[in-house]
């Protein structure tokens, strides 16, 4: 498979949950008006997204629209991210996880686990496949993935607030690392899939948070503010500095935002008039671009060819240096150098297109290479690059000496 890098917008989808029980009892009005598949109108202002899900959409509709293609991309060697963003109690965790063991109520993560293993069960027998979670655990079925998620949920801090009886007090990042290797060709593909459920942004006056929960709310809002600054810088497109390092979360999500990743951002919103201001402030982030490329590793045969190519370039550079040193000695001895001799230096340039093709192409069948030989090739290539750097520096100094001596002879 060729490595095709492509600039792509982050897909931004918007989902409105139904009014919850407390909002119904309070008599809240449902404020969004939906226009087509991609527009929601709030307070007379239209907000346009790649897709808008109204309050009556199903978990299956959400998954088929937002996640199914990203799973295919990750299996093809791209990185992918799906993350949910929105205020407290807007439906983020329900969208990402849902009811883990309910066929209809399952969210994106359990459906992804099932999709990946369905692929494993029907895949080419020449491919080896495994999934490794952040807890360094190998899993062999969707059920084992659910067990890992349950364990992670048990470690996630939850507290009761006025906005949500089970309010998440931390961000949740679930990483699926997918590695594939063709046994005959040794061609490797690796893709990472980040599944992110962010803690809710919130107004303390509404949540009624106090004490430790209040301190948590401040930290949550601080990290979400850092995420907002990153999104703003990327959406603006003119800033040279994007503040990824302002929080741990934005550092982790750096590839997902403006990096090598195919990303879907789920904006989760409350339909209640009570949350009108928060809903409007959430509806942003439509113009960020990522450049996604396949994570393709070189085969043993490609490593050999790359090694031989670098070796040949190093040999030509050595010959050039020796020729220049000989000419420099002749200058110092008062001999003249003809223009024809000066032009005889062989240029040592990298054929960019050829290098790119070598790095990115899929090779046919080739003989497997022992791991120790592969390490030896890698070490030799590192040494060659070091020698090239040294030679270029010598070449530059020699050229400067020749120019100085030439000027003296002309005088």
Half-sphere exposure of 167 (CA within 13 A, CB side): 24
One domain for residues 304 and 291: no
Taking CA atoms, 170 is separated from 73, 98, 157, 364, in Å, by 28, 17, 6, 47
Return d(Cα 310, Cα 297) in angstroms, integer: 18
Q: What is 277-327 written as a DSSP string?
A: HHHHHHS-----EEEE---EEPPHHHHHHHHHHHHHHHHHHHHHHHHHHHH
* Structural domain includes residue 381: no
One domain for residues 320 and 289: no
* Structural domain includes residue 348: no
The DSSP H or E segment spanning 81 is strand 80-86
Given its phi and psi angles, is residue 294 left (phi above 0), alpha (psi -120 to 50 degrees) or beta?
beta
List per-block mean pLDDT (blocks of 10 residues) for the chain, which spans 411 residues: 53 90 90 91 87 94 90 83 85 89 90 85 53 54 77 56 47 80 77 81 54 63 77 66 81 74 82 79 57 60 78 83 79 72 53 49 47 64 62 55 50 46
Which positions make up the binding site? Answer: 86-93
* Structural domain includes residue 346: no
Query: What pLDDT, on the 0 to 100 scale, is given for residue 67?
Result: 87
Query: What pLDDT, on the 0 to 100 scale, is given for residue 398?
Result: 53
Residue 285 burial (CB count, 10 A): 20
Query: What pLDDT, on the 0 to 100 scale, is given for residue 52?
Result: 93
Query: What pLDDT, on the 0 to 100 scale, is given for residue 132?
Result: 40
Query: What pLDDT, on the 0 to 100 scale, is given for residue 388?
Result: 60
Query: What pLDDT, on the 0 to 100 scale, is given for residue 174?
Result: 81
* Structural domain includes residue 337: no
Strands 33-35 and 80-86: unpaired
- Is residue 337 within 8 A of residue 312, CB to CB? The reply is no
Query: What pLDDT, on the 0 to 100 scale, is given for residue 191?
Result: 82
One domain for residues 304 and 156: no
**Number of domains into which the chain is organized:** 2
One domain for residues 307 and 269: no
* Structural domain includes residue 112: yes
One domain for residues 110 and 168: yes
* Structural domain includes residue 408: no
Q: Which residues pair with 103 in a beta bridge?
A: none
Which CATH number do you get for residue 162?
Answer: 3.40.850.10
Query: What pLDDT, on the 0 to 100 scale, is given for residue 62?
Result: 93
One domain for residues 76 and 189: yes
* Structural domain includes residue 368: no
Structural domain range at position 160: 6-297
Query: What pLDDT, on the 0 to 100 scale, is given for residue 213?
Result: 55
One domain for residues 56 and 117: yes
Query: What pLDDT, on the 0 to 100 scale, is given for residue 156?
Result: 52
Q: Which two tokens stand for residue 405?
A: 């001596």
* Structural domain includes residue 406: no
Which positions make up the binding site for ATP? Answer: 86-93
pTM of the model: 0.56
Alpha carbon 242 to chain centroid, angstroms: 15
With H, G, I as helix, E, B as strand and everything else as coil, classify residue 195: strand
């Amino acid at each position: 498979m060729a490595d095709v890098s492509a600039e792509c917008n982050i897909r931004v989808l918007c989902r409105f949950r139904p009014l919850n029980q407390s909002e119904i009892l309070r008599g809240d009005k449902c404020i969004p008006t939906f226009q087509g598949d991609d527009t929601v109108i709030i307070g007379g202002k239209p907000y346009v997204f790649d897709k808008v899900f109204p309050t009556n959409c199903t978990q299956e509709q959400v998954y088929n629209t937002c996640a199914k293609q990203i799973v295919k991309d990750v299996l093809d060697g791209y990185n992918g991210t799906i993350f949910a963003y929105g205020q407290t109690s807007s439906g983020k965790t329900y969208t990402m996880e849902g009811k883990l063991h309910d066929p209809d109520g399952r969210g994106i993560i359990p459906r992804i686990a099932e999709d990946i293993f369905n692929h494993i069960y029907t895949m080419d027998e020449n491919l080896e496949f495994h999934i490794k979670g952040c807890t360094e655990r190998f899993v062999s079925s969707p059920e084992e993935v659910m067990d890992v998620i349950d364990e992670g949920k048990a470690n996630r801090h939850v507290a009761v607030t006025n906005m949500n009886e089970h309010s998440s007090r931390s961000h949740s990042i679930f990483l699926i690392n997918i590695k594939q290797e063709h046994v005959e060709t040794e061609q490797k593909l690796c893709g990472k899939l980040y599944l992110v459920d962010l803690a809710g942004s919130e107004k303390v006056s509404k949540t009624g948070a106090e004490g430790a929960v209040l301190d948590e709310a401040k930290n949550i809002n601080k990290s979400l503010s850092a995420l907002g600054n990153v999104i703003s810088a990327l959406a603006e497109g003119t800033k040279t500095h994007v503040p990824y390092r302002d929080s741990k979360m934005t550092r982790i999500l750096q590839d997902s935002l403006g990096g090598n990743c195919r990303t879907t951002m789920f904006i989760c919103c409350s339909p209640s008039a009570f949350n009108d201001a928060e809903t409007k402030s959430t509806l942003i982030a439509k113009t960020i671009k990522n450049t996604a490329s396949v994570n393709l590793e070189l085969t043993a045969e490609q490593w050999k060819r790359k090694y031989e190519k670098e070796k040949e370039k190093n040999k030509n550079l050595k010959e050039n240096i020796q020729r220049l040193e000989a000419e420099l000695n002749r200058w110092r001895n008062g001999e003249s150098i003809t223009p024809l001799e000066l032009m005889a230096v062989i240029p040592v340039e990298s054929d960019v297109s050829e290098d790119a093709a070598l790095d990115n192409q899929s090779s046919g069948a080739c003989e497997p290479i022992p791991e120790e030989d592969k390490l030896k090739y890698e070490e030799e290539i590192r040494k060659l690059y070091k020698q090239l750097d040294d030679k270029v520096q010598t070449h530059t100094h020699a050229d400067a000496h020749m120019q100085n001596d030439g000027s003296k002879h002309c005088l």
